[in-house]
Structure 1
Amino acid sequence: MLAQQRQQAILERVRRTGGVRVAELVRDLGVSDMTIRRDLEVLAERGLVEKVHGGATVTGTGSTEEPGFAAKSVRQQAEKEAIARRAAQLVRPGSSVALSAGTTTWTLAHHLVDVAELTVITNSVQVADVFHRGGRPDQTVVLVGGVRTPSDALVGPVAVAAVRSLNVDTLMLGVHGMSTRAGFTTPNLLEAETNREFVAAAQQLVVLADHTKWGTIGISTIAALEEAHVVISDAGLPEEARAELAEHVGDLVVVAPSADAALEAAQ
């Protein structure tokens, strides 16, 4: 396959799925890691894809841009792992926890599958699947129904009605963006409505947001910064963002990705 043909194939996959991983392209196209990285560099220079650690995603920065689950899963993997590990420490055996949709909460789910007697409520198909595969008999998993979004969230009136009838100890909320002016936001209007019901149902709101979420504003606000009891982010968070968050949220926790996780994410 010629370089131009290979790059076109990569671009079509990015547009179809929202994101690609270098390792998958190496396997599927039968070329070296270096060749794939050069192809991604060419596509990025032309403005056709956005390079991220370990792969590439579709471009776009609008307030209604909604990357798919595959696209988000290749972004900030080491940071999300560190955030998830810290968030898992806040979950007690025998408690109830709601997990919103997103790749950070999906990463967290892998750390919660061994928590005894846990009740999990989620509107994420991907999160529910993690617990289903875990198969722990003393855990209860409630997957609310609804209309599926590009990020694999179930939203809409069915989801809202289900969440509105519940009370949970802790909500682990993944967000598209956060800022002083707009608070915690999402590019999906229906997902914002569902997440607002999750916020209302929870005694404690824990927001999981890597440093790239600061300054990003989705079209719809889920909650004001002041509503968060805890925000967990990573060491890439700028000092000015730390100062703003520390002033508005209950507790700001900043974690450092491990060297091993960062190396794995880059591969």
Structure 2
Amino acid sequence: MSNKLVYVGIAIFTVYFLAPIYILLLLAFNSPKYTIESVYPPLIFKSPTLNNLIFAFTQYDFIHPLLKSLAVATLVGILALIVGIPAGYGLSKLPGKIAYPIIVVLLITNMMPGLVVAIPISAEFIRLGLFDTIPGLAFAQELVTLPLAVFILQGTFSSIPREIEYQAKIDGASTLSYILRVLVPTTSPGIIAAFLISWMFSWDEFTYAIILSPIHPTWPVEIYLNITRGNILAAIAFSLVFTIPVIILTILLQKYLRGEYLTGGIKS
């Protein structure tokens, strides 16, 4: 009986999370008269067509927003590792009663509304020449992704026995050499998890993007602009393509998105 309840629960959650993707596919590949022009649109495919996608990708610019989103997300992931690896390593060396409050302070940024943070940042970025640029947007999004990356990396590094580092030091390795040649290869799954979390957050981030990059928008902002302008078919097509990279990354790299890499456990 208990196993049946588990299966029922899994089925319900599966349907709940896959339903939006199914609706998106209906909107993208069904004729508009059965979807956005219908009062009671059917929940099955009728008159499947590629005309929606062809129309959207031939009539609207999608290459530049796509490339900008890819560039920003990749830069955010790289910066999260460049800063997060030494920060996570340093925190993993501290006792839990010291490391835990530091991580909590880092995560306070995530508790603040993005709009409150983005407006003063945009004024400063205009002065520095970073407004509406890929590095400027990446630096702003790092305020949210970096604490998460440090949280994951600290827990990952804390799981490595101290004896490994002691042995490396005995063999003559410096701290930098130990991190690059021993720690990073050993904890690569956790490092990849931190990169993926940072990348995926940046990929669909909206608040910082619309305030700090309104002239040359990223992909989420472009979808929003098409919706507000009434270009529903374009928004639907862009949303479908926007979802594909996340699905592919999740499927290919799901072995790295495990609980042990995301818990950020802290040793006392």
Q: Structure 2 length as normaliser, TM-score? A: 0.23
- Larger Rg, first or second structure (1 or 2): 2
Higher strand fraction (1 or 2):
1
Higher helix fraction (1 or 2):
2
Q: Structure 1 length as normaliser, TM-score? A: 0.23
